[in-house]
Structure formats: C-alpha cells, structure tokens
C-alpha cells in the first residue's frame, strides 16, 4: 500500500512538473519612436534567451508609415503610426509594437491642397492674415518665424498654384526634409535655371521645392500630371511666378 501511495505521489509530481508553463515570449519594444529615415531591428526573447525572429510572421498595419521584413527589421518611410505584429508560426500567439514615425521638422500650416477651388474655398481654409488681394492672387502673412507668407494664384477664378515662402532661418535641406518625411519623392525637374525637387501629396497634387536667388526657399503646390511629373511649360510658369517675389 505504501508503495502504491508513493507511486501515485511520483506520478502527481511528474504531471505537475510537465504542466509547468514556459515563460512568455517578449518583444524588445512595445512602443517605439523613429524618424522617417531610420530602422529598428526587433528582437524576441523568452526567459532571457533569444527567440529566432524567423519563427514568427511579421506585418505592419500601415505600410505607408513603414514596412517590416521576415526577420523583424522595420524600415520607416513616412510620419504616422503603425502597429507591427509578430505572430508565432506554431500558433503560439501574437506580439505587438506600436510604432510612431515622428517628424524632424514642423514649420507651420501648408497651403490648401484644393486645387481647382475658388477664392471662397481658399479663404475658408486659411486662418492666417490676408494682406493683399487681386483678381488673380491672395497673399497671406506667415504665422511664425519659419514662414514669410503664402501666395495663392487663380486663373479664371480657379486656384492653380500655392507658393509657400520660407524665412532665411529654414535651409533648403530642412525644407526638403519636411516633404521627404511626409510625401513620396518623385525626382527633380530643372527649368529656367531652377531645380525643383518634386513630391506627390496625392495622385493629382504635388509640391516642388526650390531655392530662388533674392527670394529664398519656396515650396510650390501645383497639379501633377498622370505620369507624376509637372509639364515643362507649367513649371516654367511656376518659376516665373516665384521670381515675382515673396510676401511683403
């Protein structure tokens, strides 16, 4: 009888040990902040020991913000938020990291993107001080020490271009970075002695960033063609308008 009881006790102890749960798998960063040009290699661990990232399926909920590869390497691309998930291939659960891509620069409010709209549409959008108005233009004073002002151009009553003039405190590299971290870079176009670095805000609206002698750094908001470029004759008109000078 004593032997029987001892045997039962040993079986119970054995079963108790076998049911002991392994420590959970942890991800190295449950939250993470990066800039648009940075990367992060996620790592997994269990009880102090590394877990192979390839044993998990990796995904980013917003690939416009950043993508993650099969080894858990996240590459940021645009400001915003995304959730990176790592799902165990053996059905062992999912881990998450909330990733926020933060900007290097935030200079102020961009001009209206509503190309084709009327003056009324633009005026309803703008909260800055209107300092001049003609039949074909609206001039607004910049709201801070980074922006001199914004000039809107109209043709037959429709908004065709918005020029944002930066102050001397903003370098060309800084201005370009502002757009790199928000929009898709399409390349550069040269016209009338100016080089425009062009970015797509949407399929139909873009922005060309350039530097103009005696004027400074300018971002021209303009329509994009279906090929993602600005027609040369239109860009030449943009260059001419920019050379007209900044907001007084």
Averaged in consecutive runs of 10 residues, what is the pLDDT profile of the chain (248 residues)?
A: 46 47 90 98 94 96 97 97 96 94 97 97 98 97 96 97 97 97 95 95 96 95 88 93 83
User: Cα 65 vs. chain centroid, distance in angstroms?
Assistant: 6
- Residue 7 placed within a domain: no
Task: State whether 123 and 231 are in the same domain.
Answer: yes
Q: What is the mean pLDDT of the chain?
A: 91
- Strands (E) located in the chain: 25-27, 31-34, 39-41, 44-46, 49-51, 56-60, 66-68, 73-76, 80-88, 94-101, 130-133, 137-141, 147-155, 158-166, 184-191, 194-200, 205-212, 216-223
What's the number of domains the chain is made of?
A: 2
Task: State whether 124 and 47 are in the same domain.
Answer: no
Task: State whether 77 and 124 are in the same domain.
Answer: no
| CA–CA gap between residue 119 and residue 215 (Å, rounded) | 25
Task: State whether 140 and 81 are in the same domain.
Answer: no
What pTM does this model have?
A: 0.85
Task: State whether 213 and 129 are in the same domain.
Answer: yes
- Residue 15 placed within a domain: no
**Cβ atoms of residues 74 and 40 within 8 Å:** yes
Task: State whether 159 and 46 are in the same domain.
Answer: no
| CA–CA gap between residue 52 and residue 238 (Å, rounded) | 54
What is the pLDDT at residue 20? 58
| CA–CA gap between residue 232 and residue 191 (Å, rounded) | 7
What is the pLDDT at residue 7? 42
Task: State whether 123 and 238 are in the same domain.
Answer: yes
Q: Range of 95's domain?
A: 23-101
Task: State whether 45 and 125 are in the same domain.
Answer: no
Task: State whether 37 and 97 are in the same domain.
Answer: yes
> Where is the domain boundary, 66, 101, 136?
101
Task: State whether 125 and 228 are in the same domain.
Answer: yes
What is the pLDDT at residue 103? 98
> Where is the domain boundary, 67, 101, 135?
101
| CA–CA gap between residue 189 and residue 207 (Å, rounded) | 12
What is the pLDDT at residue 245? 80
94: domain CATH number?
2.60.40.1080
φ, ψ at 179 (rounded to 5°): -85, -35
């Amino acid at each position: 009888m004593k032997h029987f009881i001892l045997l039962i006790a040993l079986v119970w102890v054995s079963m108790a040990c076998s049911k002991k749960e392994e420590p959970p798998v942890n991800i190295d960063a449950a939250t993470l902040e990066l800039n648009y040009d940075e990367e992060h290699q996620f790592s997994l661990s269990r009880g102090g020991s590394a877990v192979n990232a390839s044993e998990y399926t990796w995904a980013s909920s917003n690939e416009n913000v950043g993508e993650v590869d099969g080894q858990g390497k996240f590459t940021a691309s645009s400001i915003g938020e995304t959730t990176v998930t790592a799902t165990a291939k053996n059905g062992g659960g999912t881990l998450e990291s909330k990733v926020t891509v933060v900007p290097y620069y935030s200079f102020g409010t961009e001009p209206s993107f509503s190309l084709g709209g009327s003056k009324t549409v633009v005026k309803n959008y703008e909260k800055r001080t209107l300092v001049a108005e003609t039949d074909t233009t609206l001039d607004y004073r910049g709201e801070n020490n980074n922006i001199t002002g914004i000039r809107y151009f109209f043709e037959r009553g429709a908004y065709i271009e918005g020029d944002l003039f930066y102050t001397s405190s903003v370098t060309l590299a800084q201005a370009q970075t502002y757009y790199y971290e928000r929009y898709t870079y399409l390349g550069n176009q040269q016209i009338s002695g100016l080089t425009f670095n062009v970015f797509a805000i949407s399929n139909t609206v873009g922005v060309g960033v350039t530097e103009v002698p005696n004027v400074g750094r300018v971002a021209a908001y303009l329509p994009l063609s279906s090929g993602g470029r600005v027609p040369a004759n239109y860009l030449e008109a943009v260059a001419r308008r920019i050379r007209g000078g900044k907001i007084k």
